[in-house]
Structure 1
Amino acid sequence: MRTQEYDQPTNARLVPKPQPMPAAECVPPSASRRGRRRLRPVAGLTALLLLPPSAGLSARALGWDGPMPLPQLLAFLPWFLVPGWIALAVAVLARRPLLSGWALAVLGTTAWFLQPYGPAVTTPSGEPRAQIRVLSANLEFGNATGGLLDVLRRERPHLVSVQECDRRCAEALNTPGLRRAYPHRVIRGNEPAEGSALLSVYPLSEVGQIPGQLSMPSAVADVAGVPVRVHVVHPMPPRLGSMDAWERDLDAVRRAAERRGTARTIVAGDFNASQDHAAFRAILDTGLRDAARGLGHSRTPTWPAATAPLLGVQIDHVLLSERLTPVGARFLDLPGTDHRAVLTDVQVR
């Protein structure tokens, strides 16, 4: 008969011997966890990056330009993507869901507002009555007068809207050669920022002016028997001390656009506003179309010229009414000015 030996009674439960705790569980938190802890204060600071774009996007959604610095923020709305992406990256690494959601909201809203404002261009069938070339140029206190003269000789535009035309500019435009090339003109004001000019190869009538702190002349050009009203636009910039004037001037442009009736109208100049400003969109809502937007250049920067086209904002525009169709748009660099000129080819129908 075989015997069995047990270390403990047969009715006792077999209890496993305690094992030592693995070394990995005895060490401090992992490097990734330590990294997340280090990122928490950084995430808090990163949230501050989202405050300016959030304020700008809220104003954009409400259709309100607001006080300073909201108009300045709105001018650079596409760059809201930069703090949005930075905040999202930090929030994901730090595992901060609220910050992640905030960053995603900023990115999504910015992407929505990046869409061009206004209708695209459709070219009607049939031959146009005429095709004209329109130039708008801000000379920065007249410093780019020489560059403007070169462009006039090279590109030969038919209608020219000039802003910040000082005494030097006015004298240059009145030389015999320029008078032969542009026998019809309206020159108002001669102070460095105030002065503006409208040059035309076509006869001008009904000369007037949009009320504003800076000169904004207007006239009706006879283009191949078709009357085309042309407005030179240059409102005050949205700066400390001139915010009210900026809003009043742009509203005066809007009222002038509303009064056009059925007349073909061109509104060209330095608007000191982009499509992200409610005051500028109100002008477009009268039925005018931005030529650059219609040709796929709605956010090509025109200011400041030193950093354009990589960085900047489009505040120089050529707006067209019905029966005026843009078929070409270019942005020209003029030495001596912080603005790029806008050259647009337009069919008159």
Structure 2
Amino acid sequence: MSVLLWVLLLPFAGWAGLRLTGWDLGLYWIQLVAFTPLVAAASPVVPVAALLMRRWPVAAAGALVVAVLAAGVLPRALAEGNPAAAGPELRVMSTNLAVGAAPAGEIAGLVRRLNPDVLTIQELTPDAVASLKKAGLDELLPHRATKPAKGPWGSGIYARFPLRAGSVIEYGNFRQAEAVVEVPGGPEVYVASVHPCAPRFDYKVWCWAQGLRALPAAEPRGVLRVLAGDFNATLDHGALRRLLGTGYRDAADVTGQGLAPTWPAKGWKPIPGVTLDHVLADPRIAVRAYSTHLVSMTDHRTLFAHLVLP
């Protein structure tokens, strides 16, 4: 029986070890590691069984594996403190249009209800730009930096305040729009609409990694930065954890909602939900609130974060 318990423990131990190293080991591990919270939830089964059978070495090793997985996952369900920011507020909304399929009227309606100052859009097509304008988005958020494209590659940034369009981060045809938003009475804020390649195939792994690596690091003494969008990565992927290691704070994680799934949205593929979409804020920015919202015809939930600038 001890041999069987060791065999059952081995996959959990291997998972914990790989996750701990932060090594994005090839296509299949990149896809699987997104489900680490589910694996962490299942991991106590082996050590509990070992305890009941009085197999003490297996129980001890299993408890260590559980501790490693729990340390990586559980903090996301606990709210964190905030820096002492007392400047202007900045409301950020982000949505993936699923190759422009999401109804423009719903997006505009959500903008009216949530009242964001900045909206980042992924999978923005030329037709979607026209539909959003017809739905009144240009009146609600009159300033924009858009890089639309046919297919899933376009993105854009709409803002209530003036902005300066930046260059575009482009790998594997995916265009991640950048802009600097001029917040009235406050500092300028760099914003990126994040959308690296989805690591669906072997040949996509390179552009996924490069697209994440190309995102600017947080600079605590430089311009304020906010990255919002579909990262195609969870907080268990090494590439995203390294970006967070530069100082960014994940809005969902800060508010204790870091385990709330954003993909696939309700009614889509029968896959356990994972958290691929994020709002990352400069370490000097406080996160007052965070929420996700369903929009029809898209497989991603829309994000909303209420930020306070220093």
- TM score, norm. by length of structure 2: 0.86
> Which one is further off, 298-307 or 60-69?
298-307
- 2:195 is aligned, of 212, 215, 234, to 234
Aligned position for 1:245: 207
Query: What is the alpha-carbon distance in structure 2 between the residues aligned to residue 167 and residue 324 of structure 1?
Result: 33
Tell me by how many angstroms 1:191 deviates: 2.1
CA contact (8 A) 2:218 2:282 kept: no
CA contact (8 A) 2:122 2:195 kept: yes
> Which one is further off, 320-329 or 47-56?
47-56
CA contact (8 A) 2:91 2:116 kept: yes
Secondary structure of the residue aligned to 2:26 is coil
The alignment status of 1:346 with 2:299, answered yes or no, reads: no
Aligned position for 2:31: 72
Aligned position for 2:97: 139
Secondary structure of the residue aligned to 1:257 is coil
Secondary structure of the residue aligned to 1:104 is helix
Aligned position for 2:295: 334
Aligned position for 1:297: 257
Secondary structure of the residue aligned to 2:297 is coil
Which has the higher relative contact order, 1 or 2, with Cα contacts under 8 A spaced 6 or more apart? 2
Secondary structure of the residue aligned to 2:75 is coil
> Closer, same or farther in 2 for the Cα pair 1:261/1:216, shift >3 Å?
farther
Aligned position for 2:138: 179
Cα deviation code 1:264-303 (max 9, x no counterpart): 1111111111111111111112222112222222222112
State the number of aligned residues: 303
CA contact (8 A) 2:50 2:59 kept: yes
The alignment status of 1:219 with 2:179, answered yes or no, reads: yes
Query: What is the alpha-carbon distance in structure 2 between the residues aligned to residue 287 and residue 93 of structure 1?
Result: 43
> Closer, same or farther in 2 for the Cα pair 1:138/1:48, shift >3 Å?
farther
CA contact (8 A) 2:123 2:153 kept: yes
- 2:243 is aligned, of 280, 283, 299, to 283
**Which amino acid is the alignment partner of residue 67 of structure 2?**
G
Aligned position for 1:272: 232
Query: What is the alpha-carbon distance in structure 1 between the residues aligned to residue 6 and residue 266 of structure 2?
Result: 31
Query: What is the alpha-carbon distance in structure 1 between the residues aligned to residue 219 and residue 167 of structure 2?
Result: 13
Query: What is the alpha-carbon distance in structure 1 between the residues aligned to residue 138 and residue 168 of structure 2?
Result: 22
**Which amino acid is the alignment partner of residue 16 of structure 2?**
L
CA contact (8 A) 2:83 2:285 kept: no
Larger Rg: 1
Query: What is the alpha-carbon distance in structure 2 between the residues aligned to residue 91 and residue 67 of structure 1?
Result: 33
> Closer, same or farther in 2 for the Cα pair 1:300/1:218, shift >3 Å?
same
Query: What is the alpha-carbon distance in structure 2 between the residues aligned to residue 94 and residue 176 of structure 1?
Result: 64
Secondary structure of the residue aligned to 2:280 is strand
Tell me by how many angstroms 1:195 deviates: 1.3
> Closer, same or farther in 2 for the Cα pair 1:68/1:176, shift >3 Å?
closer
Correspondence 1:54-65 to 2 at 5 A: 54-65=13-24
Secondary structure of the residue aligned to 1:216 is strand
Query: What is the alpha-carbon distance in structure 2 between the residues aligned to residue 119 and residue 155 of structure 1?
Result: 22
CA contact (8 A) 1:133 1:345 kept: yes
Secondary structure of the residue aligned to 2:170 is coil
Tell me by how many angstroms 1:251 deviates: 0.6
Tell me by how many angstroms 1:105 deviates: 3.2
CA contact (8 A) 1:80 1:107 kept: no
> Which one is further off, 52-61 or 299-308?
299-308
**Which amino acid is the alignment partner of residue 114 of structure 2?**
E
CA contact (8 A) 2:79 2:255 kept: no
Identity %, equivalent residues? 30
Aligned position for 1:21: none
**Which amino acid is the alignment partner of residue 234 of structure 1?**
H
Tell me by how many angstroms 1:192 deviates: 2.6
Cα deviation code 1:160-212 (max 9, x no counterpart): 01111223322212337222222211221322311111101111114222232
Cα deviation code 1:35-90 (max 9, x no counterpart): xxxxx49x73x655544433321112222121132222221112123542333354
CA contact (8 A) 2:248 2:280 kept: yes
**Which amino acid is the alignment partner of residue 97 of structure 2?**
L
- 2:160 is aligned, of 180, 201, 204, to 201
Unaligned ranges ≥5, structure 1: 1-39
**CA RMSD in angstroms, aligned pairs only:** 2.8
CA contact (8 A) 1:189 1:196 kept: yes
**Which amino acid is the alignment partner of residue 298 of structure 1?**
G
> Closer, same or farther in 2 for the Cα pair 1:194/1:49, shift >3 Å?
farther
Tell me by how many angstroms 1:333 deviates: 1.3
Cα deviation code 1:124-143 (max 9, x no counterpart): 26x42x21210011122222
